[in-house]
Amino acid sequence: MRKSFEGLYALVKSRMELDPLNGHLYVFCNRWRNRIKVLYWDGSGLWVCAKRLEKGRFAWPQTTGEQSTVAMTTAQWTMLIDGVDLSQTRSKAWHRISRN
């Protein structure tokens, strides 16, 4: 968790092979999952935000195989940073299908 702007930017660009300037949030956690850092491009500059839990751990989403990224909804992101274990929840969302 020592990396800042340039280090996190390089991780996204080289290791993940993604564009850090695309407006997505890139979230990194430490081994103990009690700290996270977020890299975000707002169109005019990079943001690096950090959060440390005083108690407990972040319930980090599981990846499969060599997958290094996870897509999340805004609700899932909010629950993650609030300390909710996403694997213990289920979505009750529904979507209206328009008929032509």
pLDDT in tens, 26-70: 999 999 999 999 999 999 999 999 999 998 888 887 777 777 788
pTM: 0.77
Domain boundaries, given as residue ranges, for the chain: 5-88
Please give the single-letter amino acid code of residue 76: Q
pLDDT at 95: 60
If we measure between CA atoms, which residue out of 31, 26, 54, 53 comes closest to residue 41? 26
> What residue spans of 1-100 are helical by DSSP H?
5-10, 74-81
Model pLDDT for residues 64-99, shown as the tens digit of each residue: 777 778 888 888 888 888 888 877 777 666 666 766
